Structure 1
C-alpha cells in the first residue's frame, strides 16, 4: 500500500468523483482510477459505489477513510515537526473543548493564539467530553480539555483547575439563600442537558446516593438554549459559574452555590502519549494553560487554579 494511494483515496472522497479529484490532484483521470482500483484489490473490498452521479463510499470505504485521514495527519505532523525544528511554531493544531468550557474560554484562547502564535492555525472543536477523549486517542485532536484527573491509558493529563457547578435561575426578585443543598433543588423545575452529556451525568451521579429525583421539565442539548430557557423562566438549571458570568453580571440570571462535594469538577489538559507533538502543538499547550491560569487568577473564569501538577499516564 503506497502513501499516495491514501492521498488519492481521500481526495476522491472529498471531491465526490474521479474527474474532480484528478483536476485537484493534477493527475490524469485514468491513472487516478487505476490507483483506486489497485487499492481496492489490495484491501480485498470495494471502497466506492460508482454511478453516473459520482462515487459514494461503501461501508468498507467509510471505515478505511477514518484510518486514511489519521495516516495523512500523522505524515503532516512529521513534516511539520522537521520543518519546525529550525523554524517558528507553525501549522494546524486541533484543540477540543467541552461546551461549558467553550462558552468562557474560546475567545481568550483565540485572541492569545493570534497575538502570540501568528503562524499557527488553531482549530477549535466543541463537543461532549466523551467524544473529545475518543478523538484525542484516534489522532483527530492534538489537545483536549477533559474533566477528571484519574489516570487513563494513552493520555497524559496536566491538572488545570477545579470548577464548581452552580444553581442558575432567572433574576425575578425571588429571595434565595447564599447556598442551596442538593436536596433543595428537587423543589425547582429544571432545564438540563440530556443524560448523555457529561454535565448531566455528574449531576445524576451526585443525586444517586441520596435517592434524589430532580424535577427535569425539559432536556436541551444546546447550553446556549439552556441559558435562554432559564432567563425566560421555563426552568432553572445547573451550570458552571464561568459559563453564565456575563448573564449574571448583566442581571438576567442569578447563580447560587450548591453545597455538595459532587458539584465540583476537576479539569485537565490532555494529550495523546502515543503521538509525537509538533512544535506548534507544544506551543499551543503552553499558551492555553497560561490563558486559563490568567483567567482564573483575574476572576474572568470563576474557578480555582490548581497549578502545574501532572497526572502520570498509564503506559502499555
Structure 2
C-alpha cells in the first residue's frame, strides 16, 4: 500500500505539539479538537514509518526521529513564511542589522569563517557578534535581544526553534606535558585526573557520563569554575587540571600550542544547533544570514575543516 505524502498541516501541528508539550495544550492554542490533532499525528507517523512522539499522562516527549523532524520542519516552515519577503526582495540588496550569538567554544573555531562569509555574501548587513555561554544565548534569543545563535543544544527550549547543524566530538583538554604521547583517553581514566568543570555543565555529560565515573570509587578533586570557556582554558594553562570541551583544534586558541586535545574513548558527541525565536519570524537580513551560516558550516563539514565534527546522518 502506498503511503500518503506529508502535508504541511502535519508539520505545523507537530511543531505546535512539541512547543506546547502536550496534545491538549496544543489543541487549545491552535483551536483544533484534540482527537483531530491525534489523528493528524497518527497519519504523520504512518507516513514516516517511525514514531516521532512518546505519549504519556504527563504530556509528550520527542523521539530521536522526532528531534530530527522538528529541526527540519521548523526550517521548512521558516522558509515558507519568508518566501514572500525573498520574492519581493529579488534583485534588491538585503540590508539591516543581524544580532548573532555564538557559544564561546563554537566561536573559537567558527567565528572568523562565519563572519567572513556573511560579510562577503551580505555586504550591506551589519553583523553584531556576541560570544557567551549557550544557556545565556538561549535566554537572549527567547527575549528577542538576539536574532539567531549557534550553540551546543541538548534540549528543546520553550520559545526557541532549533535547527541541528552537526555533531561535535568531546575532547579532553590538558597541558601537553600532562598528556605526553597519549592520543586518546578513556572515561574510566578521568577518575584519576583533576577536572576543571563549569558551574553549570552540560546535563548530558554529567548525568550520563561523569556521575557513573565518579561513583566508581575515589577520584581526583574536580575544580569548579564559572560557566566560561576562558575560565576553563586559563585553569588548564595554569596546570590546575584538565577540561572537557567540544573542541579538537587549539591552533586558534591563545596559548593553544602548550595544550593538547585528545578524544575520549568511547567517543561522545554533542549537537551544534542554530536557534531562533519560535514566536517571532526572522527579518530578511537575519534569514539571509542564517542561510549563509548553514552553508558555510556545511562546506566546512564536507571539507573536514572542523576537527571532531560529523554530519548528523553519519
TM-score range, shorter chain: 0.5 to 0.7
Which residue among 266, 272, 295 is the counterpart of 2:271?
Answer: 266
Structure 2 contact 140–146 (Cα < 8 Å) conserved = yes
Q: TM-score, normalised by structure 2?
A: 0.62
Q: Distance in 2 between the 1:91 and 1:271 partners?
A: 17
Matches within 5 A, 1:57-72: none
Which residue among 226, 232, 247 is the counterpart of 1:226?
Answer: 232
Provide structure 1 residue ranges, at least 5 long, that are not aligned to the other structure: 1-80, 309-316
TM superposition shift of 1:157 = 2.1
Matches within 5 A, 1:187-266: 187-194=192-199, 196-198=200-202, 201-205=203-207, 206-210=209-213, 211=215, 215-217=221-223, 219-242=225-248, 244-246=250-252, 251-260=257-266, 263-266=268-271
TM superposition shift of 1:183 = 1.8
TM superposition shift of 1:296 = 2.7
- Alignment CA distance shift 1:113-1:177 (3 Å): same
Which residue among 142, 148, 151 is the counterpart of 1:146?
Answer: 151
Q: Which residue of 1 aligns with 2:136?
A: 131
Moved more, 120-129 or 169-178: 169-178
Structure 2 contact 171–262 (Cα < 8 Å) conserved = yes
TM superposition shift of 1:91 = 0.7
Matches within 5 A, 1:88-103: 88-103=93-108
Structure 1 contact 167–239 (Cα < 8 Å) conserved = yes
CA radius of gyration, larger in: 1
Aligned residues: 226
TM superposition shift of 1:242 = 4.1
TM superposition shift of 1:169 = 1.4
Q: Distance in 1 between the 2:229 and 2:281 partners?
A: 34
Report the 3-state secondary structure (helix = DSSP H, G, I; strand = E; otherwise coil) of the residue aligned with 1:132. helix
Provide structure 2 residue ranges, at least 5 long, that are not aligned to the other structure: 1-84
Q: Distance in 1 between the 2:253 and 2:223 partners?
A: 22
Q: Which residue of 2 aligns with 1:116?
A: 121
TM superposition shift of 1:307 = 5.7
C-alpha offsets along residues 184-243 of structure 1, whole Å, 9 cap, x if unaligned? 11211222322x244xx4432221244256522352544234324323423222222346
- Alignment CA distance shift 1:178-1:282 (3 Å): same
Matches within 5 A, 1:268-283: 268-283=273-288
Q: Distance in 2 between the 1:146 and 1:292 partners?
A: 13
Matches within 5 A, 1:5-16: none
Q: Which residue of 1 aligns with 2:160?
A: 155
User: Are positions 1:288 and 2:293 aligned together?
Assistant: yes
Q: Distance in 2 between the 1:98 and 1:216 partners?
A: 23
C-alpha offsets along residues 63-89 of structure 1, whole Å, 9 cap, x if unaligned? xxxxxxxxxxxxxxxxxx79x846321
State the superposition RMSD in angstroms.
Answer: 3.2
Report the 3-state secondary structure (helix = DSSP H, G, I; strand = E; otherwise coil) of the residue aligned with 2:222. strand
Q: Distance in 1 between the 2:248 and 2:110 partners?
A: 9
Q: Distance in 2 between the 1:97 and 1:239 partners?
A: 15
C-alpha offsets along residues 127-149 of structure 1, whole Å, 9 cap, x if unaligned? 22222222212211111123336
